[in-house]
Structure 1
Amino acid sequence: MSTPEVLRLPSLPAPQAVGRTGTNIVSALPPPSSDPAYTVPSLSSSTSHLQVRTQALQLAYGLRRVVKLAPGDVVGIFSSNCAEYPSAVLGCFAARTPCTLANALFTPRELSIQLADARAKVLIAGPGQLDVAREALVSLPGVQLYSLSHAAGSLDQCIWDFCVPGKELCDEAVDDDETALLCYSSGTSGAPKGVRSTHANLRATLSLTVAASPRSFTTDEVWMSVLPMSHMYGFGYHILLTAYLNVHVILLPGRFDPHAFLEALEAYRVTAAHIVPPIAVRLTKDDLPRAYDLSSLREWRSAAAPLGDKLGTLLEQRFGAPLHSLYAMTETAAICLMSRQGEPVPPGSAGLLAPGVEGKIVDGELCVRGSNIMPGYLRRPDANAEAFDEEGYMRTGDLVRVEMHRGVQGEEEAWIYVLDRKKEVVKWNGFQVAPAELEDILLRHPAVADCAVLGVPDYAVREEERGSEQVLACVVIRSFLDAQNENAPMLHRSESSDTFSSAGSTDSISRESDSDTSIETHEISAPAKVSPTATAAGGEAYAAANPDAMLALAKDERVQLCTELRTFVDTRVAPFKRLRGGVRIVARIPKSPAGKVLRRVLREEIVRELRVEHGIEA
């Protein structure tokens, strides 16, 4: 076995910690001010930091004394962005009842899986998510459901009904390895897993983030929030750092509208806009009705997925404010690499290691260690063994390179560039899509013998306009006769073992259109435009190699099958997981001798075909 190539990165010492060891994250926050915390322009409403904190401590009292939860009992929060969301999260922290944040676009199936894995005792759902929540809890009768606000006509009890003026609670002392937040991530591979962020991790996030770019985190900040608070990026900035700095956040819930976004930037004199690449695409490419005064804007801060050099340049040229980078994972509690406001950023770089974060590159993969890094996945010793090495460094799954540039003080600094993912997870609009989850669904269809899901570039748009990968499925189909035989066993290989298992029929689902599900701001792209011929592309090339399956179906039948398979998946998952890249019929899925899908080999083959189809030179 060859010795791995290791490059140790220079690191800066950790900054002064926030709060004492063993302190609840809420107790570590400074006193709340009476200044506005959250303003929702569409509702003409504002909530102060004092109101947010008071409501949180009252909720903590209600959860512990009225709902009778014990420390360690998990509370699920399932809602789109609203002013009540931060109080619910901070209230859970104060009560020492870890909260698990569920994406507001989840289907009942996806929500029930997360709640079951987290072993949640309570679910707090937003008004727009109550129907999905009720359906999800049919299979989880022990979970209590409460609404996040008094929805008109709702029969569900509102969580704030348990709040009594003067009755507040915050358990100040905690164990430093005690879980505070339980977000779900696909990690370096596989299906989503619960990421344990402790009170100590969250305290470290505050000190490390502020130290990484001090000019970005002053007390006179006004931030724009269009990021889902259920995502670690949105939580870290628009709940945790907001409470720590007492800054003003402008909330724009709902579908992303670039005109409303720019008008709010102008009207509220926003100083920093936290975005993801697809938002940058809309801002640079949409026609604008007028010029906007963004002289207050000191930085764009992009994260959650790589933002190309050309797209970043277009954003800066159009609006003037400099673009700054942020690289983090759910597992690193919203901080890892970052560029500093007020200092030049090498184009395309993901940033510098934050103070207190140690890094090394092992055979091209970035590995990090620090007080912000999770202690591990929830009840997943196998995943933890894969994620951490013998020195305690966490493998990020991202392949990187390093360039040395001279800093403003004349010192050499190691800027890190993300090249590709070693892990299998696909990023769409900044959200993680686990191939294993979609493959499991596909393999339940009687026509599918084998499959692999991967991310590919969207060659339908120019390179500088690409903000995400497209999720594409490659399938090997059974023979036509087997596909029509309802009694044929649907055998598929389990991702977690070498055995074969028989998958039963899927549960009934409610179908929803793309236009009906764009209720959260990360769902900002138009539905994928995949022509029937493009959807079925690849069939002709593989006909000779797989005659029993391929030749049994006429061309129009293959097109119909690809469309059917895409619908089969898309109606069972949240919008951001849909197969916008379509379905391609292939003769085989390349695998290693151990049976592991050679996803990179398959991706290279598919990308070559896509480039030819779109007339792009190799």
Structure 2
Amino acid sequence: MVKLYKSQFPDISYLETGLIPYLFENPNRIPDDKELFNDVHTKQSLSYGQVKDGILQFAAGLQDYFGFGTGDVLALFAPNAIDFAFPALGAIAAGGVLSPSNPRYSVEELRHQLELSDAKVLVAHPENIDVALQASALVGIPKRNILVFGQETIQGILPYTSVLMKERRAVVTPLTPEQARSRPCYLCFSSGTTGKSKGVMTSHTNAISAAAMIMYMEDYNDPNVNTRRGINCLPMFHQYALLLVLHVSLRRGTSMALMSQFDLVDYLKTIQDQRITNIWTVPPIILALAKDPRVLQFDLSSLKFAICAAAPLSRELSTAFASRFPNIKISQSYGLTETSPSGTTELVNDTAHGSCGVLMPNMIARIVKEDGSDAKVNEPGEIWLKGPNIMLGYIKNKEATANTVDVDGFLHTGDVGVVDEKDRFYIVDRIKELIKYKGFQVAPAELEGILLKSPLVNDCAVIGVYDSVQATEVPRGYVVLKPGIDASDKIVSQIQQFVADQVASFKQIRQIRIVDTVPKTASGKILRRVLRDQVKHEQQQQQNQAKL
């Protein structure tokens, strides 16, 4: 018998229209002069009216200069910036699709995304313009179609401010409910266990319904919406920050301090000086707040709520945070790029450390065991999710889509979880083999493919190993050296550097173990679970020795 878990909250209604009209609807009557974003580093700020105007101005420029329209894709290759919303939402306002990418991508990683997405325009940043030019040349994007943030021309690439920001403002074309359900507005990339990342097609309805779910739960947990001030250092190319910073800020008018990268002292000082009330974080930031002695030097009394997502927050770390900050309510959420990225979230008046909470409105779930039967309460199984926020599919990959979303509309997450007596979800393992390094997805197969190209490596396997010091998984490589090469610290460093030269920094192999053989099946498939069991045994031995 099928066991369905349904949200304890009633289904909520949401507009089935284009994303931009939804974000610009302004049901809270936000004044145009209210500060929406301020840059912690540059001290620049933008008002609610300036952000909306800049988005429409950028959209008009895309249409007039590039003939950009329905179905066209803009690739955004940049770190967080005060004007990130202009190209991010301007592409959608012009009728097209945004494909944001990690600003630390290598040439090959960016080339793959540009090629798969059929990007027409690329907006890069001065920090990574070299990579942007090389990748664009490989896929045939002309230099005329590449723009850069800032005010300066770099290597012949013009700033978008001089090319696109003219007098005209775009008039956003309304979408019918059917168009809103079927047309993508985002093409974010999610790593797959087979190596190359997959383009997740998120429709306008996916994005709107997910934002509506998040805001409903935020209001349930914290009804004082009009007094919120937030801070964001999470990368805005990732759906976690896209949904919260761009969507929710514009819809609600919530003022946000923006950081291009995390620095603990700047983070703490901003919370103190701007009287920040809400933070959206990942486990490594929670670790710093819970453990770092510098935290005690700042006045964080304004802080009321902390939301943690993107990677599992352990019971121990959640407890440590709550012990240091008894007046801050911490809540863990769970979702995937494929769920836009809503799924579950904790209720702050009924928390359980280690839990990722209960189903958001409009969500249905199953917990399915390996034999296809439904798991009982507190029995592990794969989490399947269903709702209006589930992606359209993977671009140009019908097979992967069919293997992930079944005929009944359930997304097979690949995450193993249990549900307790109160319908609270806990993530306990992963069927899929992705490594979550500080919230970023790292595919073992991709790193293994690179390792095998090294002249030093004969065979290899890569798994994620939890590092309690950093509160994250780290990629660890098990390497069999080529005959005649002796293991040494120098050889290990050379192998690590070989990989580092070809991938973004978050994908770098942090640990290497030299081994005689890699465990495999008779058909040659790597037995990662054997390696993970070895790690658990090692960690248990270390714990036992520490007790002696």
What secondary structure does 2:226 align onto? coil
Is the 8 Å Cα contact of residues 474 and 586 (structure 1) preserved in structure 2?
Answer: no
Q: 2:190 aligns with which of 185, 193, 198?
A: 185
Determine the C-alpha separation between the residues in 2 that align with 1:104 and 1:466: 22
Determine the C-alpha separation between the residues in 2 that align with 1:377 and 1:289: 42
Q: 2:237 aligns with which of 203, 213, 230?
A: 230
- The residue aligned with 1:372 is 389
**Correspondences of 1:540-579 after superposition (within 5 Å):** 553-556=485-488, 559-579=489-509
- The residue aligned with 1:87 is 86
Determine the C-alpha separation between the residues in 2 that align with 1:376 and 1:41: 37
Residue 91 of structure 1 aligns with an amino acid whose one-letter code is: G
**Structure 2 unmatched runs, 5+:** 370-380
Residue 172 of structure 1 aligns with an amino acid whose one-letter code is: P
- The residue aligned with 2:171 is 169
What secondary structure does 2:455 align onto? coil
Residue 175 of structure 2 aligns with an amino acid whose one-letter code is: A
- The residue aligned with 1:428 is 437
Is the 8 Å Cα contact of residues 312 and 427 (structure 2) preserved in structure 1?
Answer: yes
After superposition, the C-alpha distances for 1:407-442 in whole angstroms (9 at most, x for unaligned) are xxxxxxx00011011111000001100111111111
Residue 57 of structure 1 aligns with an amino acid whose one-letter code is: L
Is the 8 Å Cα contact of residues 435 and 452 (structure 1) preserved in structure 2?
Answer: yes
- The residue aligned with 1:263 is 269
Are residue 345 (structure 1) and residue 351 (structure 2) matched?
yes
Are residue 395 (structure 1) and residue 395 (structure 2) matched?
no
Q: 2:201 aligns with which of 176, 181, 196?
A: 196
Is the 8 Å Cα contact of residues 518 and 526 (structure 2) preserved in structure 1?
Answer: no
Are residue 305 (structure 1) and residue 311 (structure 2) matched?
yes
Determine the C-alpha separation between the residues in 1 that align with 2:287 and 2:393: 35
Residue 19 of structure 2 aligns with an amino acid whose one-letter code is: I
- The residue aligned with 1:213 is 218
After superposition, the C-alpha distances for 1:559-604 in whole angstroms (9 at most, x for unaligned) are 443332221111211111111122433313322x444322112221
Question: Residue 563 and residue 607 in structure 1: after superposition, are their counterparts in 2 closer, same or farther (change >3 A)?
Answer: farther
Shift of the alpha carbon at 1:190? Answer: 4.2
After superposition, the C-alpha distances for 1:110-129 in whole angstroms (9 at most, x for unaligned) are 11111111111111012222
Is the 8 Å Cα contact of residues 193 and 445 (structure 2) preserved in structure 1?
Answer: no
Are residue 78 (structure 1) and residue 57 (structure 2) matched?
no
Shift of the alpha carbon at 1:340? Answer: 2.8
Determine the C-alpha separation between the residues in 1 that align with 2:31 and 2:462: 48
What secondary structure does 1:573 align onto? coil
After superposition, the C-alpha distances for 1:282-312 in whole angstroms (9 at most, x for unaligned) are 2222221754332322211100111112212
**Correspondences of 1:264-343 after superposition (within 5 Å):** 264-288=270-294, 291-319=297-325, 320-341=327-348, 343=349
**Structure 1 unmatched runs, 5+:** 406-413, 481-552
Is the 8 Å Cα contact of residues 59 and 169 (structure 2) preserved in structure 1?
Answer: no
After superposition, the C-alpha distances for 1:19-70 in whole angstroms (9 at most, x for unaligned) are 2x3x210012223632111011332221011111111111111112221123
What secondary structure does 1:359 align onto? strand
Residue 33 of structure 1 aligns with an amino acid whose one-letter code is: P
Shift of the alpha carbon at 1:605? Answer: 2.0
Q: Which runs of 4+ in 1 moved over 6 A?
A: none
Select between 167-176 and 63-72 the one with higher mean Cα deviation. Answer: 167-176
Determine the C-alpha separation between the residues in 1 that align with 2:297 and 2:392: 48
Determine the C-alpha separation between the residues in 1 that align with 2:160 and 2:71: 19
Determine the C-alpha separation between the residues in 2 that align with 1:191 and 1:100: 16
Q: 1:24 aligns with which of 18, 25, 46?
A: 18
- The residue aligned with 1:97 is 96
- The residue aligned with 1:37 is 36
- Sequence identity (%): 30
- The residue aligned with 1:250 is 257
Residue 472 of structure 1 aligns with an amino acid whose one-letter code is: R
After superposition, the C-alpha distances for 1:325-355 in whole angstroms (9 at most, x for unaligned) are 11111111121001134x1201110110101
What secondary structure does 1:566 align onto? helix
After superposition, the C-alpha distances for 1:495-520 in whole angstroms (9 at most, x for unaligned) are xxxxxxxxxxxxxxxxxxxxxxxxxx
After superposition, the C-alpha distances for 1:234-273 in whole angstroms (9 at most, x for unaligned) are 111111111111110011223x221221111121111111
Shift of the alpha carbon at 1:211? Answer: 2.0
Residue 122 of structure 1 aligns with an amino acid whose one-letter code is: V
Determine the C-alpha separation between the residues in 1 that align with 2:483 and 2:147: 49
What secondary structure does 2:428 align onto? strand
RMSD: 2.2
Are residue 477 (structure 1) and residue 486 (structure 2) matched?
no
Question: Residue 594 and residue 369 in structure 1: after superposition, are their counterparts in 2 closer, same or farther (change >3 A)?
Answer: farther
Q: 2:515 aligns with which of 585, 593, 609?
A: 585
- The residue aligned with 2:121 is 122
Residue 306 of structure 2 aligns with an amino acid whose one-letter code is: W
In our comparison, the structure showing a higher alpha carbon Rg is 1
How many pairs were matched up?
A: 522
Is the 8 Å Cα contact of residues 79 and 126 (structure 1) preserved in structure 2?
Answer: yes
After superposition, the C-alpha distances for 1:346-385 in whole angstroms (9 at most, x for unaligned) are 1110110101011000010000000001021111111112
What secondary structure does 1:42 align onto? coil
What secondary structure does 1:348 align onto? coil
Shift of the alpha carbon at 1:609? Answer: 4.0
- The residue aligned with 1:545 is none
Question: Residue 250 and residue 375 in structure 1: after superposition, are their counterparts in 2 closer, same or farther (change >3 A)?
Answer: same
After superposition, the C-alpha distances for 1:93-121 in whole angstroms (9 at most, x for unaligned) are 11121111111111222111111111111
Question: Residue 16 and residue 94 in structure 1: after superposition, are their counterparts in 2 closer, same or farther (change >3 A)?
Answer: same
Question: Residue 423 and residue 153 in structure 1: after superposition, are their counterparts in 2 closer, same or farther (change >3 A)?
Answer: closer
Is the 8 Å Cα contact of residues 476 and 589 (structure 1) preserved in structure 2?
Answer: no
Question: Residue 88 and residue 203 in structure 1: after superposition, are their counterparts in 2 closer, same or farther (change >3 A)?
Answer: same
What secondary structure does 1:365 align onto? strand
Is the 8 Å Cα contact of residues 53 and 169 (structure 2) preserved in structure 1?
Answer: no
Is the 8 Å Cα contact of residues 189 and 423 (structure 1) preserved in structure 2?
Answer: no
Is the 8 Å Cα contact of residues 435 and 441 (structure 2) preserved in structure 1?
Answer: yes
Question: Residue 289 and residue 11 in structure 1: after superposition, are their counterparts in 2 closer, same or farther (change >3 A)?
Answer: closer
- The residue aligned with 2:421 is 404
- The residue aligned with 1:158 is 159
- The residue aligned with 1:546 is none
Question: Residue 189 and residue 443 in structure 1: after superposition, are their counterparts in 2 closer, same or farther (change >3 A)?
Answer: closer
Is the 8 Å Cα contact of residues 7 and 360 (structure 1) preserved in structure 2?
Answer: yes
Shift of the alpha carbon at 1:171? Answer: 1.9
Question: Residue 474 and residue 18 in structure 1: after superposition, are their counterparts in 2 closer, same or farther (change >3 A)?
Answer: same
- The residue aligned with 2:365 is 359
Determine the C-alpha separation between the residues in 1 that align with 2:463 and 2:128: 29
Determine the C-alpha separation between the residues in 2 that align with 1:401 and 1:370: 19
Determine the C-alpha separation between the residues in 2 that align with 1:474 and 1:601: 12
TM-score by length of 1: 0.80
Question: Residue 426 and residue 70 in structure 1: after superposition, are their counterparts in 2 closer, same or farther (change >3 A)?
Answer: same
